[in-house]
Structure formats: structure tokens, C-alpha cells
Structure 1
Amino acid sequence: MKSKDLLEKNKINIWPEEKIERFRLTLLTWYDENKRDLPWRKTSNPYYVWVSEIMLQQTQVDTVIPYYNRFIATLPTISDLAEASEETLLKLWEGLGYYSRVRNMKVAAIQIQNDFDGIFPKNHKDVLTLKGIGPYTAGAVTSIAFNQAHPAVDGNVMRVLSRLFEIDLDISKASTRKVFEQIISHLIDPVRPGDFNQALMDLGATICTPKNYSPELSPVKEFNASYINETWRKYPVKKKKNKVTEQTFYTLMIKKEDGEYLYEKRPKKGVLSGMYTPIMIEQGTLREKGWKLFNEDGSYKNSAEELEQNIEDIYNLKVRIKDQPKGIIKHVFSHLKWEMIVFEALLLEDNAQIKDLKWIHKDQFDQEMFPVPTQKVNKLVDTLTLF
């Protein structure tokens, strides 16, 4: 479907050229005076821009800055990334979450080494062939690093445009992004496309925000149909998120007398794939065997015999679990909420034949690439039992 047909179908009227030119000038003037001082904006190196854009996915800017600086200092070139060990990558990424992103970056770096002589491709279609790079990242990198007029439509941009044009489309649908990309293809400044894309992002991040939005403070309020018509509270249109799945785990801090704790490597697919966590037994699986955490009066059970038997059956480990929990930890992913009821346990006998188990001394915790939930559990090592 041609852009004109796509916009007509959705009843979106693109401004005349004169108004578009005024919008570009107004937006870029504001950006030049107010743009955020970010380390990746001090370079046009496509590798650095790419790293920043992947890190910024679903992560706040302030959180990303130290990760970005450390990543670039450790792996300053594409070849460094391609040759980096998984241990190095995961340690650099530790705490950012979504570990598949950095694994995909390594695959893409190898692609660049093999298919593009180690040079980040300039062609937009070639960029889209790289592992883990979609339309947004491809548009951001090619416009910022190579000054090409490609749209980079993220949540900030969709929010700004939906208010500017009073767009009633659900922004959570993949098909809606195509519409916004068509709008940007008309509006984008051909001379400064990278700055134009970043200006829209900054506008959405600092003024045209999801909450506490004050449209009267916007530099482009004269172009904002939802401000003029006082309908801005309706936009953007977004369906309710799917309900987050909640899981409760009995999480065991199994230790030896010498201060080593036991960790299990998670499967290659799924949440925290390939990362180490303490042994975690989902509550529902034990309930089927009669295990209950609480007595009838709501107090904690004083016996952990059934849980100890479960650990012996599955892992061939004999442990003695303290009767009372060490603490309760909660961690929220994008689609999951974990409640981890943490128990301390002492190893009595180890006959385990499972290769994905690993003993780590508490003094070595800082040197390991633990995911955030494990880091939270580790902080309980030297704390008093809460119950």
C-alpha cells in the first residue's frame, strides 16, 4: 500500500510543505538549544550509536550511560565485540536484563566481520539483515551515523505523533508502526535526519511524556492538534497490557561450611537463559506433592522435610534447610513477576551428577555475571533471618 493510501485509509492528513518546513525549523531550533548531553551523541561512529540504541531499549537513559561507557571502553571496535567471550559480554551487560540483546549483538558483529569486511554497513537494507536489528534501530543508526533520511519510530515518537495528528490507532499493534513511519517519511528533515529523529525522541522523553504532560510547554504546540482541540488526554491510544504472570519459587541458598554457595545454570531458552541462579523450586510443583509453606493459621511451617526430600530426588543432594525463610524477594520482568521465598540450607552430602551446578564462594560474588534476581538473593547471605 502506498504511503498516501495508507494515510488516507486512517484519515491522517499530512500538512502542506510550508507547514512541514516550519515544523522542522521549530523542532530543530528547540533541539539545538535543549538537547540532552549524552555520550553517544558526541560521535557519528555507527558501532557506538548501535550499542547505545540496543542498550536504550526498555531501559532508562540514566541507567544506560555507565553501561555504555564501560562497554565501549572494554570493546571499542566491532572486531572486539565479535571476538568477546560470552562471560565478558554477560558481565558487561549484568543488570541491564534482556540478555538476548547482547548475545544478538555478538552474532551481528560476526556477520559484519564476515559479510561486510568488518565495516558497519551503510545501506539500510543491509543493516536490517543484522541479527537483533529491526526497523527502529536501523533507522536510528543510518540517520544518526550516516545522515540518511530513514524514520526511527520508538514509543516516544509514536506518542508525540499521535498527539500532533490526533491518531486513534492502537500504538501497541505492529501494523500501527508502519503508519507512523509513513508520517515521519513526510516530516523528516532531509538535511538533518539524525537530529530530527533525536529531537522527536527528546521531545517525547522530556515534555510530551506519558504522565504529567504539559502541552502548553511544548515548542511545537502550535502544530499539536490535540492541544488545540483539548483532546491530548486521549492520546496515545493503547490497549491494556496483558496480565503479568506471577510465579512463586522456594529459592535455596545451599552452602558448604567453607562459604561456597550452590548455583544452577538456567536452560538455553527462556527467562535468564544461560545465567546462574540458586536452585529454585516453583511452589506449584511442590504443592502437588503435599508441600505447603504455611500452616492453617497462616504461620510458616516449621518443617522443611518435604522440600529437602525434593532436592534429594531431583539433584541427589542431601541438605538441611533452616525452618524459617531468610527473606522474600520480588522481581518483575516485562511479562513475569517472581516471588522468591529464600531459605538457607547446609550441604550434608553431595552426590550430584548434574553438570550445570556450580559452587561459588561468597567472596567471589562480585566477579561473577549474576542476573539481578540472583544479586538480590546474594545480598541476603550476611543478613539475619527475617522470620
Structure 2
Amino acid sequence: YRVWVSEIMLQQTQVTTVIPFYERFIRRFPDVVTLARARVDTVLSYWTGLGYYARARNLHRAAKIILQEYDGVFPNEFESVLALPGIGKSTAGAILSLASDQRHPILDGNVRRVLARYFAVAGEISRGETEAALWQHAAAVLPKSAALAAPFNQAMMDLGALVCTRAKPQCGVCPLVGNCQGNALGTPTAFPVRSRKRVRPIREVTFIILRDSRGRVLLERRPASGIWGGLWGFPECLSGETPVDWCQHRFHIRTTRAKALPVMNHGFTHYVLKIHPQTLRVSDAAGAKIEGKDRVWITPGAPGRRGLAAPVKQLLEQLDKTG
């Protein structure tokens, strides 16, 4: 269970960032059963700040499946693990290799870099044939002994993280340098071959920060799909309407404009979101009309156990300080 949680957290996130989140998560959810029985909002609240929230939702969904179909015991067969939400081939191999001493190759980002340099794999890393070639290399170098698979896989991950780093590989201390084709060519950092960077387009949105007479703000749960799916955040005005008109049409309430907060930029993989936070004042009577199951008034400094996207958390902290 702990290997599974750590492997999911380490997807696209550095170890130093993960450690405090992992420790806090394990204290709150020490086993599969506890995780499965928790509310998804609670799980997401312990993921707030780590990003890529689909990982947390998939972790929770998988825990429920393990509780229902495997009596709360993490499965020990590769295909069963691979079928769980959020677990791919490499993650399944890492879990069973590290936790159960099974013989499975892995291909996380660090291992992919080591193999691409060692064998001077020339294809772009994003191409299917390059991925297939790296999997073949990963399987070929894996020790035949199942007992050695776990320490080998761990060593390969550590080698990529600490020695064969992306920008400044320490070839002088690398135990594989003698047969490394990338080093022999004198261009280890040319591998893996990366796709050309595309300029990320900018999308703009207005965060509507409604405040009542007590200084509370309105949060609403986002749709399950899309960015920040299932998290709590501020209502968003996407059209060309003014925030005041938008609230009139969306909530059928009257508001008065308070002030605009500084613009925020939040980067996603494929685009940059330019956020315009706009505070509006609303009467308590009007505010009560729009509260419901997926819409709640909270004090900025006490949002409760709710999953929050990083910009929302940042704005709440700012509002808590400034009043």
C-alpha cells in the first residue's frame, strides 16, 4: 500500500516535494481500508498543493475497488494491479517489484533517461516506437533473479535521479560510464531526444469572489471532469459579461463590485491560465439563496477538509490576511 501511494505521488513530482505530502497522507490514511472509506473531499484536501489531482481521485477509486473486490488486500497479480485506476505498466511493475520481489521491468522518467543515454536511443521520446524500444531495453537488462529485480529497479531509479540527471549528468562517477553509448558519443544530454517545445497558449478566466457581510466567500465544487475536477473553487466567469451581470444571470442575485485583485498566471502542461480575481459584495439574504450541496460559504482562513486548487488556496490565504 505504501509503495503504491508513493509511486502515484512521484508521478511527475520530485521526491523532495512529495515527502511531506506522503508523510501527512499516510498518517491520515494508513491503509487501503481507511482510504476507501474516506470521503473524496477529504482525500483531495490532503492532496492540495501537490497538483495533478486525477491521481488522488484514481487512488481513492482504486482503494474502493480493492476493498470491494479483494477484501482490502492489495492484489499481487500484475494484470489485477494494472487494471486499477491510475496505474500503468511501469507503476504496476514498480509496485510488485519493490513490494513483492516480483520480476517486472519499469520505465519511469529516470529509468527512461538512463536507458536512452546508455543505448543512445535516437527516436523522439514521445513516439510510440521509441517507447517500445525502451521497454525492450528495460526487459533485457533486468536481472533474471526475481530477488534482484527490486534492488536493480530501485538502483536504476536512483541512478537517474542522482547521477544521470537531465541537465548535468555526473558521468565521472557513473558505474555505467564504460559502456554508455551516449557518453561515448560525447553528447549524453542529447538523449533522450525531446520533442520541440511548443509555445503554450494563454487562456483567461475571471474568478468571482463573492463576499457576504461576515467576510465569508462562496466556494463551489467543480465538475468531475476537466481541470481541477471535483475540487472546490470560486465560480468562474468565462464570457464577455461583466462579473456583476454574470452573477445576475447565473445566480439571479444582485451584487456590487468591490475590487479586482492582482492577476495570477497558473501553468498547465498545454496552456497557461491567466486568472483575474474579482471580489463582489452580496447581501446575506441573497447569499443564502445560492448555498447548496455543491456550493458553500466559508471563512477564508478555515475552508475545512476540501480539496483546493493551488490558485484558490493562495487567494484564500491572501483574503485571510487582508480581511
Q: Do the structures match in fold with TM over 0.5?
A: yes
- Which digits, 9 at most, give the CA deviation of each residue in 1:57-85, with x for residues without a partner? 11111111111111111111111111111
Tell me the secondary structure at the aligned position of residue 103 of structure 2: coil
Q: Which amino acid aligns with 1:155?
A: G
- Which digits, 9 at most, give the CA deviation of each residue in 1:136-177, with x for residues without a partner? 111101111111121110111111111111111221234432
Conserved? CA contact 2:232–2:308, under 8 Å: yes
Tell me the secondary structure at the aligned position of residue 162 of structure 1: helix
Which of 143, 151, 161 lines up with 1:205 in the alignment?
161
Q: Which amino acid aligns with 1:320?
A: T
Conserved? CA contact 1:108–1:131, under 8 Å: yes
Matches within 5 A, 1:261-300: 261-282=217-238, 285-286=239-240
Q: Which amino acid aligns with 2:156?
A: L
Aligned to 1:134: 88
TM-score, normalised to structure 2, is 0.91
* Residue 112 of structure 1 pairs with residue 50 of structure 2: no
* Residue 315 of structure 1 pairs with residue 242 of structure 2: no
Cα deviation for residue 105 of structure 1 reads: 1.6
Aligned to 1:63: 17
Cα deviation for residue 245 of structure 1 reads: 3.6
**Whole-Å separation in 2 of the counterparts to 1:367 and 1:122:** 33
* Residue 357 of structure 1 pairs with residue 295 of structure 2: yes
* Residue 90 of structure 1 pairs with residue 44 of structure 2: yes
Tell me the secondary structure at the aligned position of residue 149 of structure 1: coil
Tell me the secondary structure at the aligned position of residue 50 of structure 2: coil
- Which digits, 9 at most, give the CA deviation of each residue in 1:310-358, with x for residues without a partner? 2211221211113x52211121122232111222221146275574332
* Residue 101 of structure 1 pairs with residue 39 of structure 2: no
**Whole-Å separation in 2 of the counterparts to 1:194 and 1:90:** 31
**Whole-Å separation in 2 of the counterparts to 1:255 and 1:354:** 13
Give aligned pairs, total.
Answer: 318
Tell me the secondary structure at the aligned position of residue 93 of structure 1: coil
Moved over 6 A (4+): none
Matches within 5 A, 1:1-387: 47-189=1-143, 190=145, 191-282=147-238, 285-286=239-240, 306-322=242-258, 324-348=259-283, 350=286, 352-353=289-290, 355=292, 356-365=294-303, 367-381=305-319
Cα deviation for residue 275 of structure 1 reads: 1.4
Conserved? CA contact 1:136–1:153, under 8 Å: yes
Conserved? CA contact 1:327–1:380, under 8 Å: no
- Which digits, 9 at most, give the CA deviation of each residue in 1:34-60, with x for residues without a partner? xxxxxxxxxxxxx11000000101111
Distance 1:121 1:175, change over 3 A: farther
Unaligned runs of 5+ in 1: 1-46, 290-305
Conserved? CA contact 1:315–1:354, under 8 Å: no
Tell me the secondary structure at the aligned position of residue 89 of structure 1: helix
Distance 1:384 1:78, change over 3 A: closer
**Whole-Å separation in 1 of the counterparts to 2:321 and 2:187:** 52
- Based on CA coordinates, which of the two structures has the bigger radius of gyration? 1
Higher mean C-alpha deviation, range 220-229 or range 53-62: 220-229
Conserved? CA contact 1:153–1:177, under 8 Å: no
Aligned to 1:292: none
Higher mean C-alpha deviation, range 357-366 or range 345-354: 345-354
User: What is the Cα-based RMSD across aligned positions, in Å?
Assistant: 2.1
Conserved? CA contact 2:232–2:306, under 8 Å: no
**Whole-Å separation in 2 of the counterparts to 1:371 and 1:231:** 40
**Whole-Å separation in 2 of the counterparts to 1:336 and 1:354:** 32
Tell me the secondary structure at the aligned position of residue 260 of structure 2: coil
Distance 1:81 1:366, change over 3 A: closer
**Whole-Å separation in 2 of the counterparts to 1:186 and 1:325:** 59
- Which digits, 9 at most, give the CA deviation of each residue in 1:256-286, with x for residues without a partner? 111111122211210011212112213xx21
Distance 1:354 1:244, change over 3 A: farther
Cα deviation for residue 212 of structure 1 reads: 2.1
Cα deviation for residue 92 of structure 1 reads: 1.4
TM-score, normalised to structure 1, is 0.77
Conserved? CA contact 2:301–2:316, under 8 Å: no
**Whole-Å separation in 2 of the counterparts to 1:125 and 1:274:** 28
Q: Which amino acid aligns with 1:264?
A: E
